[in-house]
Amino acid sequence: MQSIGSLVSKKFNPSDTDKYVSQEFQKYAYTLAKELDDLPHKSLYMRLAKNTPRGLMESARGFVKDAINAKSKGRLYMWKLKQLKDSVKLRSSLKAMKNANV
């Protein structure tokens, strides 16, 4: 018969889990910061991951992945994310204006 401790250690390996990550958006932000080679600004990516729609973030991430000769991946990511946010705002304001005229 096996002890409870050995069963638990087989099922849950402590080295596999992230020690200081308690939310999914934190894990996403950390992997994004690593991917962009921008770990000093990981808190910025955590705030973005918490407050920004994931679709916009994934679109900007894909754009940066496709860019081969980017000097600063973090800067390119932020630029593209701002463009995407502005296009969403413009679309929503045009839709509201169109609905107001009808």
DSSP assigned state of 16:
T
What average pLDDT does the chain have? 89
Mean pLDDT of 78-98: 93
Give percent of the chain with pLDDT exceeding 70.
86
* Three-class DSSP category at 87: helix
Is 6 inside any structural domain? Answer: no
Q: At residue 85, does pLDDT exceed 80?
A: yes
The answer to whether the CB of 77 falls within 8 A of the CB of 36 is yes
The answer to whether the CB of 4 falls within 8 A of the CB of 12 is no
| Residue where the block lists tokens 């600063």 | 72
Express each pLDDT in 19-64 by its tens digit. Answer: 778 899 999 999 999 999 999 999 999 999 999 999 999 999 999 9
- Work out how many domains the chain is built from and give that number: 1
Is 42 inside any structural domain? Answer: yes
| Residue where the block lists tokens 């690593």 | 34
**76: domain range?**
21-101
Is 49 inside any structural domain? Answer: yes
Is 7 inside any structural domain? Answer: no
Taking CA atoms, 4 is separated from 16, 25, 76, in Å, by: 19, 32, 50
Is 73 inside any structural domain? Answer: yes
Is 10 inside any structural domain? Answer: no
